[in-house]
Amino acid sequence: MSPERPPTAAPAGSELNVYESAEARFEIAARRLGLEQGVYRYLKYPDREITIYIPVAMDNGHMEVFIGYRVLHSSVRGPGKGGIRFAPDVSLDEVRALAAWMTWKCAVVNIPFGGAKGGVICDPERLSRTELERLTRRYTAQLAEWFGPERDVPAPDIGTNEQTMAWVMDTYAMHVRQATTAVVTGKPLELGGSQGRKEATGRGLMICCEKAVAKLRMKRETCRVIVQGFGNVGSHAALLMHQTGFRVIGAADVHGGIYNDKGLDIPRLYDWVYGQGKSLAEFPGGGEKVSAQEILFRPCDILVPAATENQITAANARRLDCKILCEGANGPVTSQADPVIEEKEIFIVPDILGNAGGVTVSYFEWVQDRQGFFWRESEVNERLRDVMERSFDQVVQYAETHGTNNRIAAYILAIDRVARALKLRGFYA
């Protein structure tokens, strides 16, 4: 059930190695900034990487040992912030890349966090609820000295949810002998979670799409949208965009997708998947059945890849038929595909901007927990819109100022902010 050794990550030099993609974009932005060598080296490498081996008593009486990771990329601008991923293909390179992206993401939207990420090699669908709880609590216990509201603040990611975060919070509280709700975000409302957190990443994507449409002088009502990935991020992005007047013509998850150029009934589809627990690919709402990969290349105005990494590569990027590419997943486009997308003049909303709505509302949750005072959902959503709209405008301005695309502009903006904070703090010797 658990691997005896870490899975083989994409090899060095492979286009699918997400850490190399993250590094490649960092290199381009750092050169354009003229980043001095010492600062460059400081920001390139993580603060720390931790590998742990997690013994878990399984329901059948046997013991399994799972491999877990936690990487803190930077604490220059504040405590580490980043999710915990439970998935069979988690690797240290993936966690490294995700931690670095969190640093740049937090800096792009100008919230006072650094970047971190965690993961456990497991298949949560094959574990019982009690096994997941034991795994989560042991993972937390082994990292408790590194976690904390001013150190490193976890959140949900692929394979984890608000229940997982409740177990993390409770385990940490037992170790420090006091209730500490701000140690984790993405919690249930009853334990100090925030209104609007569940929809936050999808809402941030919707806001970025609205801004992109306005920038390109397109009309929302005539914009055709395809969303790849129908988990928490993609489903809420589709639902919110449908509610605000976009025409969602395609949606897909890991099992398959559905495409209808006349538009899908997204509220009905959402209920089919989440209300009735049925497969998206079997939705009887009218439309053509397509694979999760093929749906990326159907004609549309806005494409939202909100599934997993490496969906769009140098080998298939020329097949894209969209005007706006708004990234909901982390790293859905490889660095080697970037020149193709730029050549096709696709307006890109990069992941470190597009999906930053989640970490922004996580920041709001952290603030509310520390204050012991909670905001109305309308206030959360209003504050989120302010952050996303301002950040979008700043990225576009940087792109124009530096004569580059929006992705590299977002990296330049983020690296510049972290580098400035580092220089102000100075180097402890």
Distance CA 43, CA 114 (A): 11
What band does 2 get if pLDDT is binned at 50, 70 and 90? very low
Q: What does pLDDT average to over the chain?
A: 94
| pLDDT at residue 5 is higher than 70 | no
pLDDT value of residue 11? 59
pLDDT value of residue 12? 55
Express each pLDDT in 66-91 by its tens digit: 999 999 999 999 999 999 999 999 99
Express each pLDDT in 404-420 by its tens digit: 999 999 999 999 999 99
Express each pLDDT in 335-388 by its tens digit: 999 999 999 999 999 999 999 999 999 999 999 999 999 999 999 999 999 999
Strand locations in 323-428 (E): 324-326, 347-349
Domains and CATH numbers, the chain: 46-183 (3.40.50.10860), 200-354 (3.40.50.720)
Express each pLDDT in 139-186 by its tens digit: 999 999 999 999 999 999 999 999 999 999 999 999 999 999 999 999
- Alpha carbon dihedral 91, 303, 155, 334, in 10-degree steps, equals 30
pLDDT value of residue 1? 43
Q: What percent of the chain has pLDDT over 70?
A: 97
pLDDT value of residue 79? 98
Task: Enter the tokens of residue 345.
Answer: 């003049």
Name every residue whose Cβ is closer than 8 Å to that of residue 229 and which is 6 or more positions away in sequence.
252, 253, 304, 305, 306, 307, 308, 328, 329
| pLDDT at residue 285 is higher than 80 | no
Task: Supply the residues annotated as catalytic.
Answer: 117
Treating both helix axes as pointing N-terminal to C-terminal, what angle do 92-108 and 377-402 enclose, rounded to 10 degrees? 90
